[in-house]
């Protein structure tokens, strides 16, 4: 809840609005894990609140640690479990956040997409990932790149971002947060207008017909339209836009693709992140050789596009890009 919503919640319990401010402080600043910890709210008031509201804090029910230090957590939601990943990197500790249980978007290379959509997370489910991983106050950054398409659950994601970036909330700078999308156009415009967080767009192929083979979203919201929208915003200052490009051997890794990608992004202040595809079962494509990725990167760089090969993290615990799956709480579907 926002601070205003917390004030209304307090009033609905017959309490003064300022109790809402106290709740925001306990929940988001002091990170109280129980009603009892909220010592400056009277016992009676806490009891009234506890009768109507839940703190929304749920401990992980599973945890896997990679040899590279990446940790994958399994969190319960109403009828599904979802995954969140913490990636340590020098003095950074980045949380990869899930926004939906499964996903509707159906990208063929993605395990989350393959399992279909099982529901949206609410803002509390999203914030719980920030509150309930180990040592939550040491998180430095967050990327909405976990399970689901965040802009297909825009209201809850924007509500969570509001709590994360508000001074009465977590107080994070928007520069610490990156939202990754395949380009859900109407919600993308809302995101660009309403927040200062960084943007990452999953592009994966510069040719429309080929992109459509792997990403059904291309039909409703072509990448060219997404780029037209992005070009209307300023990414020359603090706010950054990057393009994710997962590389598949023989599909999108040759000179023609590098040249077309450079043409598509010409004039835009941006970065391209090359990601090695992680094999999934019953899917014909394989990752390219490292040398092929390096040649692709160098060709883009020669065309003036800033480009990096992103290190793969947490592959051994199925925490890397495209591998998150979760499972039904009451079913037998496995990750």
Please give the positions annotated as active site: 83, 321
Q: Which of 27, 82, 96, 110 binds ligand SF4 (CB under 6 A)?
A: 110
Strand 306-309 relative to strand 271-276, pairing: parallel
Q: Which of 113, 169, 183, 314 binds ligand SF4 (CB under 6 A)?
A: 113
Please identify, among the stretches 78-86, 109-117, 247-255, 264-272, the one whose residues bind ligand SF4 according to the rule CB under 6 A.
109-117
Residues 30 and 41: their CA atoms lie apart, in Å, by: 14
Nearer to ligand SF4, 184 or 300 (CB): 184
Using alpha carbons, select from 209, 225, 289, 309 the residue that is nearest to residue 257: 209
Q: Shortest approach of ligand SF4 to residue 31 CB, angstroms? A: 29
| Residues 62, 66, 67, 70, CA torsion sign | negative
Is there binding between residue 101 and ligand SF4 (CB under 6 A)? no
Q: Which of 94, 112, 115, 165 binds ligand SF4 (CB under 6 A)?
A: 112
Q: Which of 9, 15, 41, 105 binds ligand SF4 (CB under 6 A)?
A: 105
Is there binding between residue 32 and ligand SF4 (CB under 6 A)? no
Find all residues with CB under 8 Å of 92, minimum gap 6, and list them: 140, 141
Q: Shortest approach of ligand SF4 to residue 116 CB, angstroms? A: 10
Using alpha carbons, select from 188, 110, 174, 111 the residue that is nearest to residue 143: 174
Please identify, among the stretches 107-115, 125-133, 229-237, 256-264, the one whose residues bind ligand SF4 according to the rule CB under 6 A.
107-115
Find all residues with CB under 8 Å of 276, minimum gap 6, and list them: 246, 247, 287, 288, 293, 309, 312
Residue 44 zone, left/alpha/beta (φ > 0; ψ -120 to 50; rest): alpha
Q: Which of 103, 142, 272, 293 binds ligand SF4 (CB under 6 A)?
A: 103
Nearer to ligand SF4, 113 or 169 (CB): 113
Residue identified by tokens 């924007």 is: 158
Please identify, among the stretches 56-64, 69-77, 100-108, 189-197, the one whose residues bind ligand SF4 according to the rule CB under 6 A.
100-108
Residues 295 and 303: their CA atoms lie apart, in Å, by: 12
Nearer to ligand SF4, 45 or 327 (CB): 327
Is there binding between residue 83 and ligand SF4 (CB under 6 A)? no
- The torsion of the CA quartet 290, 296, 302, 304, rounded to 10 degrees, works out to -110
Is there binding between residue 107 and ligand SF4 (CB under 6 A)? yes
Q: Which of 60, 148, 183, 314 binds ligand SF4 (CB under 6 A)?
A: 148
Q: Are 140 and 92 in contact (CB under 8 A)?
A: yes
Please identify, among the stretches 4-12, 37-45, 108-116, 132-140, the one whose residues bind ligand SF4 according to the rule CB under 6 A.
108-116
The CA distances from residue 259 to 208, 239, 285, 288, 301, in Å, are 15, 26, 22, 18, 11
Please identify, among the stretches 6-14, 63-71, 105-113, 307-315, the one whose residues bind ligand SF4 according to the rule CB under 6 A.
105-113
Q: Which of 182, 214, 230, 258 binds ligand SF4 (CB under 6 A)?
A: 182
Nearer to ligand SF4, 48 or 112 (CB): 112
Q: Are 117 and 100 in contact (CB under 8 A)?
A: yes
Q: Locate 153 and state its tokens.
A: 């659950």
Q: Would you call 292 helix, strand, or coil by DSSP?
A: helix
Is there binding between residue 149 and ligand SF4 (CB under 6 A)? yes
Q: Shortest approach of ligand SF4 to residue 169 CB, angstroms? A: 26
Find all residues with CB under 8 Å of 86, minimum gap 6, and list them: 70, 71, 73, 93, 94, 95, 96, 133, 134, 139
Is there binding between residue 261 and ligand SF4 (CB under 6 A)? no
Which residues here bind ligand SF4, judged by CB under 6 A? Answer: 103, 105-107, 110, 112-113, 148-149, 182
């Amino acid at each position: 809840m926002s601070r205003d919503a917390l004030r209304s919640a307090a009033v609905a319990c017959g309490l003064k609005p300022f109790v809402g401010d106290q709740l925001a402080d306990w929940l988001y600043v002091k990170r109280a894990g129980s009603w009892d910890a909220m010592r400056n709210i009277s016992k009676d008031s806490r009891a009234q609140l506890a009768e109507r509201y839940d703190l929304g804090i749920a401990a992980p029910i599973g945890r896997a640690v990679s040899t590279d230090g990446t940790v994958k957590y399994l969190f319960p939601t109403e009828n599904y479990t979802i995954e969140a990943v913490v990636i340590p990197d020098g003095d950074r500790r980045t949380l990869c956040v899930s926004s939906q249980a499964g996903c509707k978007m159906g990208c063929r290379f993605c395990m989350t997409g393959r399992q279909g959509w099982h529901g949206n997370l609410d803002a509390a489910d999203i914030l719980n990932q920030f509150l309930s991983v180990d040592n939550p106050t040491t998180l430095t950054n967050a990327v909405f790149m976990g399970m689901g398409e965040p802009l297909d659950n825009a209201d809850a994601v924007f509500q969570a971002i509001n709590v994360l970036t508000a001074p009465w909330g977590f107080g994070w700078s928007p520069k610490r947060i990156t939202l990754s999308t395949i380009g859900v156009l109407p919600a993308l415009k809302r995101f660009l207008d309403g927040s200062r967080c960084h943007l990452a767009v999953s592009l994966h192929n510069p040719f429309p017909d080929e992109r459509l083979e792997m990403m059904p979203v291309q039909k409703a919201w072509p990448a060219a339209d997404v780029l037209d929208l992005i070009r209307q915003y300023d990414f020359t200052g603090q706010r950054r836009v990057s393009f994710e490009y997962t590389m598949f051997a023989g599909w999108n890794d040759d000179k023609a693709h590098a040249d077309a990608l450079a043409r598509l992004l010409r004039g835009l202040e941006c970065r391209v992140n090359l990601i090695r595809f992680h094999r999934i079962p019953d899917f014909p494509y394989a990752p390219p050789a490292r040398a092929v990725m390096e040649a692709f990167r160098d060709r883009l760089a020669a065309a003036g596009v800033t480009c990096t090969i992103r290190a793969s993290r947490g592959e051994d615990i199925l925490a890397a890009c495209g591998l998150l799956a979760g499972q039904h709480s009451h079913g037998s579907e496995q990750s």
